[in-house]
A and B are shown apart, each in its own frame.
Chain A
Amino acid sequence: MHDYIIPIGPQIQSIKEPTCLRIKLKGNYIQDARIRLGYAHRAIEKILEGKTVEQGLVIAERICGICESAHSQAYIRAIENILKYNPPKKVRYLRTLIAELERIHSHLLWAGFMAHEIGYDILFMFFWRERERILEIFEKITGGRVHHAANKIMTVRYDLEQGDIKFILDRIKIIEKRISDYLPAYRKNNIIRARLVNVGTIARQDAKRFCLVGPVARASGISDDIRKADPYAAYKDVDFNVIIEDRGDALSRTSVRLREVLESANIIRQLLASMPEEKIPAYKKFSIKSAEACGRVEAPRGENFHFIKIRNNVIGRARIRTPTYNNLTVLEQLLVGMEIGDTPVVLDSLDPCFGCMERVMMVKNNRTQILSEKQFRRKCRV
């Protein structure tokens, strides 16, 4: 049998986001995998340079469509570290509420994709139906279904109105009930098990060596959660467990995420039960001459890290490290020796978010394989 190289992506149905995997095959088995990025670059780090701190927040919120509040909270945490400001209890509670709702939304969205990837489309629709409830909550309390822009430096934009708490609790109750039903099905169903068990296994030592974060690390038995290790917002006040599984395969990663949905619902219930009756502080102007700080939060996919350097009242350099970029190193190693049919499942089980990750620049031509714009136009004319 011949050896050959197959490029997968950048546009392909089975991988939802633009990336290119070059896979070297022998028969049906992968010998080598190389990943190529840069298809969704928007130069966010460069755009942030020269913006004021308030303008920077607006851009930071738009890095990702799924973990929008994770980015704004990491950015705000960095700025508030510089200002040495500790927000009042109500602000901390509302920020945590948004973050946890977002975690449920992200995990359900991912669980749906995973079900779709293994050919179980009815489950995909079930998960997305439950996710719709979270979007309804977002729409009711912030006005935006995807970009809710709830966080502001030193304060938040929205308060809960009368009836909102009941509205949220009703929907959380439905989600908890449904996910508790789906979880055993996910674990026991033979079709799902055949596609997920022992696929893309990451051992504990490897997870540690590759510095993995988030649910991917927790599925390999590493108890690593910024919410516990370096608490921010209201995570000190609520009682929750860090979900850990030890098999490290695609099924563990799935069940870690689904169990985290239940844990997040638990956190939301605690927050709403003890929501303080304070007024939200008004936005105050501030100025930072020059400073540097880091801020990090636990995004749905893992640790989200922002480094901000301010000089002459504007941002001089921003470094944003998203969890996907960190977890991607392991993918190339993980694919070696697998069957080509497992590629989408392995890639999806890491829950990559390329819109989040690729923040730098330009896509033009890949000299050897893809035509340049000029060449393409020339071809079109003929």
Chain B
Amino acid sequence: MEKKVSLKSFLDEIRRFRKARLITITCIDEKKFRLIYQFDERGKISSLTILLPKKKPFVGSISDIFPTAQLYEREIHDFFGIEFKGNTRLHEKIFLPEGWKKKPPMLKDLRSATTAKYQEMI
């Protein structure tokens, strides 16, 4: 079941999943950024969705609750440019080259030759 939470109570909500296993964090670029935290709770997938604004998106890091989240947060920071406050290694690039100055490459408004054709459809 999915439900929406305000940013303030977000970390408290995440702590409720402390005993579950974090599967992944999915970021989707829509009208707003949609972050989905997917957990495995005794064989069932539960997810927690938050919406972030397009302008200067930031959210609290969950890497002190789930150490694995550190990699996912760094990946999302590389490709979508979302800030995770509290992740100490966030600005250490994981996939992109050091000193990457261009736009984050997974954003939908970044046109490339292969995706330009489908851009309106997505």
Question: Is A38 a contact of B67 with CB atoms below 8 Å?
Answer: no
User: Which residues of chain B (74-122) have a CB below 8 Å from chain A?
Assistant: 75, 78-79, 92-99, 105-106, 112, 114-115, 117-119, 121-122
Pick from B28, B43, B97, B115: contact of A317, CB under 8 Å: B28
| Cβ distance B41 to chain A, nearest Cβ, rounded Å | 10
A178, CB-defined interface residue at 8 Å: no
Interface size class of B (residues with CB under 8 A): 35 or more
Given known A210-B67, A326-B68, contact A367–B98 (CB-CB < 8 A): yes
A179, CB-defined interface residue at 8 Å: no
Chain B CB within 10 Å, residue with most, of A45, A208, A360, A364: A360
B61, CB-defined interface residue at 8 Å: no
Question: Is A50 a contact of B118 with CB atoms below 8 Å?
Answer: yes
Interface size class of A (residues with CB under 8 A): 35 or more
A174, CB-defined interface residue at 8 Å: no
A321, CB-defined interface residue at 8 Å: yes
A36, CB-defined interface residue at 8 Å: yes
What residues of chain B lie closer than 8 Å to A296, measured between beta carbons? 23, 45
B56, CB-defined interface residue at 8 Å: no
A125, CB-defined interface residue at 8 Å: no
Pick from A34, A45, A321, A365: contact of B24, CB under 8 Å: A321
User: CA A236 – CA B84 in complex, angstroms?
Assistant: 41
A152, CB-defined interface residue at 8 Å: no
Q: Scan A26-46; emit 1 where CB is below 8 A from any B CB, else 0.
A: 000000001011100100011
Question: Is B24 a contact of A319 with CB atoms below 8 Å?
Answer: yes
What residues of chain B lie closer than 8 Å to A34, measured between beta carbons? 92
| Cβ distance B51 to chain A, nearest Cβ, rounded Å | 15
Query: Which residue on chain B has the smallest CB distance to residue A326?
Result: B68
Question: Is A325 a contact of B71 with CB atoms below 8 Å?
Answer: yes
Given known A36-B94, A50-B121, A325-B71, contact A307–B43 (CB-CB < 8 A): no
Question: Is B118 a contact of A361 with CB atoms below 8 Å?
Answer: no
User: CA A30 – CA B70 in complex, angstroms?
Assistant: 22
Query: Which residue on chain A has the smallest CB distance to residue B79?
Result: A360
Question: Is A211 a contact of B66 with CB atoms below 8 Å?
Answer: yes
Query: Which residue on chain B has the smallest CB distance to residue A47?
Result: B114
Query: Which residue on chain A has the smallest CB distance to residue B117?
Result: A50
Question: Is B95 a contact of A46 with CB atoms below 8 Å?
Answer: no
User: CA A366 – CA B96 in complex, angstroms?
Assistant: 9
A380, CB-defined interface residue at 8 Å: no
Question: Is A46 a contact of B106 with CB atoms below 8 Å?
Answer: yes
A305, CB-defined interface residue at 8 Å: yes
What residues of chain A lie closer than 8 Å to B114, measured between beta carbons? 47
User: CA A358 – CA B27 in complex, angstroms?
Assistant: 17
Question: Is A49 a contact of B122 with CB atoms below 8 Å?
Answer: yes
What residues of chain A lie closer than 8 Å to B94, measured between beta carbons? 36-38
14 contacts between A and B (CB under 8 A): A34-B92, A49-B118, A50-B118, A50-B122, A210-B68, A211-B23, A213-B21, A224-B21, A229-B42, A230-B44, A316-B122, A329-B71, A361-B105, A366-B97
Binding site for A on B (CB under 8 A): 21-24, 26-29, 36, 38, 40, 42-45, 66-68, 70-71, 75, 78-79, 92-99, 105-106, 112, 114-115, 117-119, 121-122
Binding site for B on A (CB under 8 A): 34, 36-38, 41, 45-47, 49-50, 208-211, 213, 224, 229-230, 294, 296, 303, 305, 307, 309, 311-314, 316-317, 319, 321, 325-326, 328-329, 358, 360-368
